[in-house]
Structure formats: structure tokens, C-alpha cells
């Protein structure tokens, strides 16, 4: 097949480790052509976010409409939306315009546990989620979506993945990076039941952008592999290797980025 074209609808990260920048790097590393529609500008580095400048929802819509009027999009990754208005605009695009698989990374809670969305925006993301093909929350985000305590064991993680699938009616990949232990376990819940994907945990402080990178990798690989299970497994393998090689970069003084181009540099 021709090179797949993948669209990221997400916020910008000037440090390059997360957001649109991480998405485009991931697409390129995995053989997909990347396009991007911005939902927000941020002022951030490896140590944190100091400011957010939202893009008006009408202009988010204009970016996507103008793109798809000319370019065929084979898959979409949705990341940081920032506000209820933008989430609702993106939901309209998914329902009416974007005729391809969509992966939603529901960016709600930072790695440090800080809430990144207000209640109205969370509700809007929950209305968007049933319209997409895969949702990839981490542990804290799943807890917000379900209104419960964060999972502390793989058994609880599995139960929450099943409950999210039941409520949303779409595939859920509940990431287990927040759980303790020597292995990182993600749980996929869909119409076939549940499946676990495990990998040895990589010991590193350089975890900035892991959620963005995993969801983008899935979106990049799905058009090439044609199967959700294969795409998710390949994405997890890619992220594990990117984490393993992240210490080679030495970017910033906080939580550095993963090494998106570990196979090329």
C-alpha cells in the first residue's frame, strides 16, 4: 500500500517530547506521513507546564476541514483537547467528517497526578469517547472517567478496563505504567473480552510523552497492519524500546522524552 497518512489533533509541546511534536516523530519513525491540527499552544519544558493558550474551536474545525478537503487521512490520533468547546467540535468532526479509525488519548491527568481538565471538559471528552475506535487512558484517567479510585492491582485494572468498555461501547486500552512491579501491564478490553500486554519495566526518569507516543504509534501502525491487536502490540514494543534508549538523549533537567528515533540514530 502507499504510505499511510495519519492526523494528530492535539496540543503543542515546545520541548518536543509530548503533544503534536511527539506524535509527528512517532508517525515518521513508524513509516507514516504525519499531519497535525493544533488544539492548544503550551509553554512547557521537561519540568512542567507554565501556560496554555487554547485554539478557538472554530479554528480547530477549520484546520481539519481544510486538510481533508485535499488529503486522504487513513487514521487519526486525538490528544489534548483542553476545553469542552474544543472536545465538542472534535466530536462533531469524528461523527461527520473523519471517515477512518480514530484513537483517543484522553489527556485528563498528568503523570504527577494534576488534573488537566475541568469537569465540563471531562464530560465533553466522555461524550466524544464512544464515537472513536480505541480509547487509551492511564490509571488516573480511567479513575476520573469512572468516578472511582485508581486501580492498584492488575485485577482492578482489568475490572476497570471492562467497565469502561461496557460504558463506552468502544475498545479500551487501559495502560498500567502507574502500577508498581517489574513488569508494565496494559489491558485491552473489547468485544472479544480482555487481553493483557506485558513488557519488562524500563527504569528511567525519561517518561515525558509516553501516552502521546503509544497512542500515536497505534494510529501509525493500524493502516499498515490492518489489525488492532497487531497494531497495539507493535506500538507497545516501539514504546518500550524508545524508553530503553531514552537516556541517550539527555534533554532538559526534568522528566526527559523517550527516544522516538532510537532505530535511526
- Catalytic status, residue 207: yes
For the chain, the C-alpha Rg in angstroms (whole number) is 17
Among the listed residues 25, 77, 175, 236, the single catalytic one is 175
Name the β-bridge partners of 77: 8, 103
Among 39, 170, 210, 213, the one annotated catalytic = 210
For residues 87 and 192, give the distance between their C-alpha atoms in angstroms, rounded to a whole number. Answer: 29
- The active-site residue out of 136, 177, 212, 213 is 212
Reply yes or no on whether 209 is catalytic. Answer: yes
CA–CA dist 179, 177 (Å, integer): 6
Given 46, 185, 207, 213, which residue is catalytic? Answer: 207
Choose the catalytic residue: 19, 34, 82, 209. Answer: 209
Rounded to the nearest 10°, the torsion over CA 126, 128, 129, 135 is: -110
Instruction: Show contacts of 91-99: CB within 8 Å, 24+ apart.
Output: 91/124, 91/127, 91/128, 91/131, 92/61, 93/9, 93/61, 93/64, 93/65, 94/128, 94/131, 94/132, 95/131, 97/64, 97/65, 97/68, 98/7, 98/64, 98/68, 98/73
Give phi and psi for 89, each to the nearest 5. Answer: -65, -40
C-beta of residue 103 within 8 angstroms of C-beta of residue 132:
yes
211, 213, 236, 256: which is the annotated catalytic residue?
Answer: 211
- Catalytic annotation present for 212: yes
Three-point CA angle 155, 199, 106, nearest 5°: 65
Catalytic residues, by residue number, are 175, 207, 209-212
Amino acid at each position: 500500500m502507499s504510505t499511510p497518512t495519519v492526523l494528530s489533533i492535539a496540543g503543542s509541546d515546545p520541548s518536543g517530547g509530548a503533544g503534536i511534536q511527539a506524535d509527528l516523530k512517532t508517525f515518521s519513525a513508524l513509516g507514516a506521513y504525519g499531519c497535525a491540527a493544533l488544539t492548544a499552544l503550551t509553554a512547557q519544558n521537561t519540568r512542567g507546564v507554565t501556560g496554555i493558550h487554547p485554539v478557538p474551536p472554530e479554528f480547530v474545525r477549520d484546520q481539519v476541514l481544510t486538510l481533508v478537503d485535499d488529503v486522504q487521512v487513513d487514521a487519526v490520533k486525538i490528544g489534548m483537547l483542553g476545553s469542552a468547546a474544543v472536545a465538542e467540535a472534535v466530536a462533531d468532526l469524528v461523527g461527520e467528517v473523519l471517515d477512518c479509525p480514530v484513537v483517543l488519548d484522553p489527556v485528563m491527568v498528568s503523570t504527577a497526578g494534576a488534573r488537566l481538565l475541568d469537569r465540563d471538559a471531562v464530560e465533553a471528552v466522555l461524550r466524544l469517547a464512544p464515537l472513536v475506535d480505541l480509547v487509551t487512558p492511564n490509571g488516573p484517567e480511567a479513575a476520573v472517567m469512572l468516578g472511582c479510585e485508581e486501580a492498584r492491582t492488575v485485577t482492578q485494572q482489568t475490572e476497570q478496563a471492562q467497565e469502561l468498555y461496557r460504558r463506552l461501547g468502544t475498545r479500551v486500552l487501559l495502560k498500567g505504567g502507574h502500577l508498581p512491579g517489574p513488569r508494565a501491564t496494559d489491558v485491552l478490553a473489547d468485544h472479544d473480552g480482555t487481553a493483557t500486554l506485558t513488557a519488562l519495566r524500563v527504569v528511567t526518569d525519561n517518561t515525558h510523552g509516553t501516552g502521546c507516543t503509544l497512542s500515536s504509534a497505534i494510529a501509525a501502525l493500524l493502516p499498515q497492519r490492518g489489525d488492532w491487536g497487531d497494531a497495539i502490540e507493535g506500538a507497545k514494543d516501539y514504546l518500550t524500546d524508545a524508553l530503553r534508549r531514552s537516556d541517550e538523549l539527555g534533554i532538559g533537567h526534568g522528566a526527559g522524552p523517550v527516544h522516538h528515533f532510537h532505530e535511526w540514530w
